[in-house]
Structure 1
């Protein structure tokens, strides 16, 4: 374990909300935060699985039903969370799907709708619970695959594919970081490298097995995959607008370090256009 996490990880008194936390990287992120004293909320589509995960973790853990493929569910979950908590210290946008078929309840391609638009709306509806909290952070989980993504903000109904959704995650995280300057809250991003998780469950068996084999070859367990997210969330030296991933070869393995993202992810015009288009597509407001 890196020294930064072993020595700088006391989370007592903090409220952490983790999406997709019943399995994989989200579960390991939630467990690590709970073990270090945080009150953790598991925000998951399947509430039964979320309660089972909370029982496995024990400690101060609760659950809320959040289906990121439905903007109505996002609003309901945000309202429930706002009723429970008047402050949030860590909002970790971890949940994700790849190669998931079909469209969301609101008519968007599933990967783009869940990975980006659902999290965009979720964050916008909760961000006021973070703004006055010293040291609060939003951490959005992206992927190496963002480098292959393309987005036309003028037509989000046509946006599709895992790389596009992961590029959108970074564009969102960086634009949010710009809009949060001067507040108590920071926006950061992270990616896990390769990890043996369930994210490829909708892929063909050959594709899924190949990715899992690569992850195992490089020793990328879900616990290792969670470390970049945890560093972005808890390292006191991590700053607004930073991006963390494994520091090893091709950013697949190793302990988390600040990493670079594509030039496209830093395109300020694209970031702003996607922000405005996402507000329109989701129908939410955002106080930053």
Structure 2
């Protein structure tokens, strides 16, 4: 049968943020984590949808602890406001799941002038993690989980035109944002280890799952009926990356079926390009410049 939600360890006492968790795999992951005893914060752009998701979880698990927070990853101001509000209200964080994302929208830019997919999927999460990393590092079992995609295989970082101002191509732009998630995970893993922190940086991809992202496309609706696994199944790689005691830092998780489209979550390999340390370091430095956020990972004292 393979690893499933029943294998998620007890999460009592842990504080977990899941971005974009009002629907899709983010919602399913949040629901399981809340059922396992975690204090879950649904970090979402739409407050009404977040409240509706909160109500659904509480209806299914009346003793769960679930809160909502306003987070728009297309606005660095919103990211900063969310991080500040969270620190003031909770003051502790064990697991950050960077799940939210946009997929092949018409060309647009974030509030700060970044191409929408690169800005939301990568830079917004980069800035959010930077502003919460000290809380995560203070946890003995801290983790940062980034949700990537098989689309990373076609992704390249176009440093000469990160915002696609010279001709927008939706799918290559999406691929760029998803391989950026992996460069971020692997570079964060190296930086944490160099500083002596025990926080784990992991990544996951849902395979081909029936979510709102695919349903926005006609072809996606047809493909969903043939190939897609459920949202619950699609959330399992994220849950394993976030909770499995054996999921080491720098690992990547996805379905074990053909072409990793569906199946039980196992450790998988991203493409060779995603492991280019020079590209990862350059992207990290540029991301710090663009977001105005530095991780400041001082070496941990004994």
Whether the TM-score (by the shorter chain) exceeds 0.5 is yes
Partners of 1:153 and 1:270 within 8 A in 2: no
Deviation at 1:127, TM superposition (A): 0.6
Residue among 228, 239, 252 paired with 2:248: 239
Residue among 225, 233, 250 paired with 1:224: 233
Q: How does 1:94-173 map to 2 (within 5 A)?
A: 94-101=99-106, 102-153=108-159, 155-158=161-164, 161-173=173-185
Answer yes or no: is 1:87 the counterpart of 2:92. Answer: yes
Structure 1 residues 45 and 6: alpha-carbon distance in aligned structure 2, compared to 1, 3 A threshold: same
Per-residue CA shift, 1:209-248, capped at 9, x if unaligned? 3223333323511111000000000111100000000011
Partners of 2:255 and 2:266 within 8 A in 1: yes
Using the alignment, how far apart are the partners of 2:218 and 2:140 within structure 1? Answer: 43
Using the alignment, how far apart are the partners of 2:11 and 2:146 within structure 1? Answer: 19
Using the alignment, how far apart are the partners of 1:42 and 1:228 within structure 2? Answer: 19
Paired position in structure 2 for 1:31: 31
Deviation at 1:28, TM superposition (A): 0.2
Paired position in structure 1 for 2:41: 41
Q: Runs of 5+ in structure 2 lacking a partner? A: 59-63, 298-302
Per-residue CA shift, 1:69-127, capped at 9, x if unaligned? 01111110111111112211110000010122311001111111110010100111111
Paired position in structure 2 for 1:53: 53
Residue among 197, 219, 241 paired with 1:210: 219
Deviation at 1:67, TM superposition (A): 0.3
Paired position in structure 2 for 1:199: 213
SS at 2:201 equivalent: strand
Residue among 180, 186, 189 paired with 2:200: 186
Residue among 274, 282, 291 paired with 1:265: 274
Per-residue CA shift, 1:31-69, capped at 9, x if unaligned? 000011000000000011101111110120000000000
Paired position in structure 2 for 1:286: 295
Paired position in structure 1 for 2:18: 18
Using the alignment, how far apart are the partners of 1:60 and 1:19 within structure 2? Answer: 16
Using the alignment, how far apart are the partners of 1:85 and 1:166 within structure 2? Answer: 30
Comparing 249-258 and 216-225, the one that deviates more: 216-225
SS at 1:130 equivalent: helix
Per-residue CA shift, 1:153-175, capped at 9, x if unaligned? 35533487110000100000110
Using the alignment, how far apart are the partners of 1:71 and 1:2 within structure 2? Answer: 40
TM-score, length of structure 2 as denominator length = 0.90
Structure 1 residues 132 and 184: alpha-carbon distance in aligned structure 2, compared to 1, 3 A threshold: farther
Deviation at 1:287, TM superposition (A): 2.1
Using the alignment, how far apart are the partners of 2:12 and 2:138 within structure 1? Answer: 18
Structure 1 residues 83 and 2: alpha-carbon distance in aligned structure 2, compared to 1, 3 A threshold: farther
SS at 1:286 equivalent: coil
Deviation at 1:21, TM superposition (A): 0.2
Aligned residues: 283
Paired position in structure 2 for 1:274: 283
SS at 2:212 equivalent: coil
Structure 1 residues 154 and 179: alpha-carbon distance in aligned structure 2, compared to 1, 3 A threshold: farther
User: What RMSD, in angstroms, separates the aligned Cα atoms of the two structures?
Assistant: 1.6
Q: Runs of 5+ in structure 1 lacking a partner? A: none
Per-residue CA shift, 1:233-269, capped at 9, x if unaligned? 0111100000000011000011011111111100000
Using the alignment, how far apart are the partners of 1:219 and 1:156 within structure 2? Answer: 31
